[in-house]
Amino acid sequence: MVGLYRPCHDWALPVTKPMSLAEVKRTERCAVEPTPRWTARDRRMGSPLAFLERARRLKADSAQAVVVLHAFAGARRVGDIEERMIHWASIMNVVLLIESADMAFNAEWDLGNPHTIKILMDMVLMGLLDIVLGGAPCATWSRLRFLPGGPRPLRFRGALAWGRLDLTPNELEAVKEANLLMVNFIGLCEALGLRGGMFVFEHPEDPELEPYPSVFDTDTFKNMMVRVGGILDKIHQCMYGGPAKKGTGIAHNCHLLSKGALTCTGGHAHGPSSGLNDQGIWHSRRLQTYPPPMCDWLSWGAMSWARLKMDFGPSNTGWGFAPRRAGWGWSSSNSE
Ligand SMILES: [Zn+2]
């Protein structure tokens, strides 16, 4: 369809149903072909400390290695961020270490845990982390909560964006956890952005209407964006092969990405994004994962950014370097 995001290569078909464990294991073996240019990666999700150690070893070996964290990554699947990132890294000759982390599979990756976020902040300060992508959980923010028949809203636009005042103990627990993950992730993006790294922060688009809450409307987020010089693009996931329109906000600090930020041009069908399907499963469930072309776009942007930084550095995130100036080095042969 005209106007849809089109990559210059083939990718695996979009996955529309959750994959079984066996399927995930199979794709992990075939989707990520280790080559001599890449670091060998433990296919099981390691701990944050193991990630730090791998990053440290890699950066010691290669001045141009790029370390990427995909936070809140969910289950590995065909065409996910990690797969597309490795694909583009090989095309752009980038030495890449990527971790697709999710606390659903390893509790050590709980970004609400002060030890975990401390390790990641230390990695930023040590120049061991270059790119972070992710979208903190949005269930407590969702505007679907304002539809009849579902769970009630837990937040409202404005002063109550971080939680309504009459939350039940269970709701309070959920909102506190979601707030902690959100604020910590915003903090991680800011720390990285301020040190010359790249971040991508994904969340459902701001309805820009009372009474719908949105993290994009909070002072915490807006002030962070001012400090890092961030860009907020809006996309519709239908343009990337998504089953519904699903307006999504992509906050980032990579100008290259804005070129691929597409909004619906019409001419195609949109599936439902709310309510239950025939099997009694919420339609919103299948929208939780990014469609593969969206992963491809974000990965292309990230690896292009890395390639440009390498070629035209310097960077203070550890891997960037300035080309050596002619005549800088001394040797007996060029002294006059
Ligand atoms: Zn559309």
Separation of 8 CA from ligand 1 center, angstroms? 21
Q: What is the pLDDT of residues 161-214, one digit of tens each?
A: 999 999 999 999 999 999 999 999 999 999 999 999 999 999 999 999 999 999
Spacing, Cα 271 to ligand 1 middle (Å)? 10
Q: How far is the CA of 269 from the centre of ligand 1 (A)?
A: 7
CA of 291 to the centre of ligand 1 (A): 13
pTM of the model: 0.80
Q: How far is the CA of 133 from the centre of ligand 1 (A)?
A: 24
Please give the pLDDT value at position 17.
42
Rounded distance, CA 279 to CA 259, Å? 38
CA 210, CA 329: separation in Å to the nearest integer?
Answer: 63
Q: What is the pLDDT of residues 234-265, one digit of tens each?
A: 999 999 999 899 999 999 999 999 989 999 99
Among 3-17, 165-179, 276-290, the minimum mean pLDDT is found in: 3-17
Query: Distance between CA 5 and CA 287 in Å, rounded?
Result: 18
Residues linked to residue 68 through DSSP beta bridges, in sequence order: 98, 131
C-alpha 236 – ligand 1 centre gap (Å): 7
Q: How far is the CA of 250 from the centre of ligand 1 (A)?
A: 17
285-300: average pLDDT = 85
